[in-house]
Amino acid sequence: MTKLTTSACSALILASGSPRRRELLAHLLDDFEVVVSDVDESSAVTDPVRLAVKLAQRKAEAVAAAHPGRAVLGADTVVALGGRLLGKPADEAENREFTALLSGKTHHVTTGLCLVVGGQTLSASETTAVTFRALSPAETAHYAASGEGLDKAGGYGIQGLGMALVQGIAGDYSNVVGLPLGQTLELLRRGGVRTRWD
């Protein structure tokens, strides 16, 4: 467990080890704690929205079960190109394959959210369309060799070196980073969690 504050009992637990989600959530909350869920992320669900929400719920409920009485926020991001889901690449070769697949095309990034609070389970999702430039083989190889995309769905990070791959986006930028701030804020408010914005 990683604590972000000195509080013995923070108002909310973020059930995610993603440093990007942690940084984004800090824009909404002064006080929260991180507890990484180790739930199985395999699923037979192939619809990106349903899958993202299902995995977010699985993470939030697992952490909530171990921390009764606490509000827990889970999140999961899924990248889809047509009917194919692109998870985290296993290695540099697969990262190169993913980047080449995305080259010159528009794909969709969906983040599922789940808030477990006060005996209720609330969920939401956000989808953003991202279009890559047409990339040369040298560019896909260079990006894959950087290692930046290995821990990210779709094999790239839009907030880092990967922003050079992107031609444009339609929708919420923070969603592509890993946590859609507008949707998260509304979800927290629905659950009665006080934020910096209230």
Minimum mean pLDDT range among 31-40, 84-93, 131-140: 31-40
**Which of the four pLDDT bands, split at 50, 70 and 90, describes residue 44?**
confident
pLDDT in tens, 149-196: 999 999 999 999 999 999 999 999 999 999 999 999 999 999 999 999
In CATH terms, 2-190 corresponds, of 3.10.560.10, 3.90.950.10, 3.40.50.720, 3.30.70.20, to: 3.90.950.10
Q: Where are the domains of the chain?
A: 2-190
DSSP string, 116-164: EETTEEEEEEEEEEEEEPPPPHHHHHHHHHH-GGGGSGGG--TTTGGGG
Q: What is the chain's mean pLDDT, rounded?
A: 92
The DSSP annotation for 49-85 comes to HHHHHHHHHHHHHHHHHHSTTSEEEEEEEEEEETTEE
Distances (CA, A) of 125 to 29, 60, 111: 19, 14, 6
The DSSP code for 178 is T
Tokens of 161: 């070196």
What are the backbone angles phi and psi of residue 149, rounded to the nearest 5°?
-90, -5
Instruction: Read off the pLDDT of each residue in 43-64 and give the average, rounded to a whole number.
Output: 93
**Hey, which residues are catalytic here?**
76
